Each structure stands twice: as C-alpha cells, then as structure tokens.
Amino acid sequence: MKLAIVTVQRAAAVAYMRWEHYEPDTGIWTIPAKDPQELTEGLMKSGRAFAVRLPVNLRQTINTLPQRCPHVFSVDGHRPIHPETLRRNFMKFGDITTHGFRNTFKTWALHQQPPIDMFLVDRYTDHSLQGLDRHYRRDDMFKERAALGERYMAYVQQEAWNAE
C-alpha cells in the first residue's frame, strides 16, 4: 500500500511488481513498457518503460521482503497479489482508490510553496505530455523525480504520524 501511495503508480503495476525489475542497492524500479499485442499485466500503460528511484524508507521496507517468487508482493509465495486485493485493502479505510493517489499527489504539489513545476509533477506520475511539451520536453527528470519522491514520502509519513 505504501508503494502505491508514494509512487502514485497504478494498482496493477504495484501488484505485479517483479524482483527482476527492481534493484535493491539503488532502489530503482523499472516498469517495462506494455506491448499492446500481449496481455501482460502490470506494465506501463503509456507504452514506454518508466524508472523510479524509491525513497530510502520505502526501499528499506521492500528490501526486507522475502524473495519467494518472481513477484515482490505475494500472498502464497507462488503468485502475485491481485490488483483488486490492493484496491479492496484501501477501501477498508473509506472511499479510497489507488488512482485517487495520483490526484492527491498532484493537488499536494500544487499547494506547495513555492508550487512544484507541473512538468515535473507530470513526469513523476508519468502522465502523457500535451501540445508542444510532447515534442520539446524529452527530459524524464529522473534525479528531480527522485528528490520529489523523498519529499513526498516525508510528507506522507508526517501526515500518517500526525493522524495517530
């Protein structure tokens, strides 16, 4: 659940995360591009690979998980959890969806002082660029996204601790 909240990735990408796509030493999780001809679950909807460096605290948590099967998150040690399981776990806390975290993140970024550049926010969420941005802004801003992830993780943790 933490991975879905902080990375704002879709439920399927989180549920079907594979060890082979994650580098424990660096915390880099690369979600491969989805081939439109295949039914492979958990790959990038955008059709291009997306790499994210997980915040240190999140990386440490994931690195402690047992590697019993090819998938990072498994209930029985053989198969991945299902994205619907992730969604249902969130619903236990109210009308919460994994997709809603994307909106929450964008709203949070908008209200920061100074506001976080929306190009960086779109890069963090891997939203498709529109208009001229699509043609001229090709930098994926990996380092800036990693720093933003650390900042957002700190915010999420602070809010969680304040709620207790």
- Alpha-carbon span 99 to 102, nearest angstrom: 6
pTM of the model: 0.82
For residue 83, what are the domain limits?
Answer: 2-163
Q: Which tokens sit at 17?
A: 């995360």
Q: Which CATH number belongs to the domain containing residue 25 in this structure? A: 1.10.443
User: Based on the structure, what is the number of domains in the chain?
Assistant: 1
Whole-number mean pLDDT of the chain? 84
116 vs 23: CA distance, rounded Å? 28
Residue 139 has pLDDT above 80, yes or no: no
pLDDT tens per residue, range 67-106: 999 999 998 888 999 999 988 988 898 888 877 888 889 9
pLDDT digits (tens, 9 = 90+) for 28-70: 999 988 766 665 677 666 667 889 999 999 999 999 999 999 9
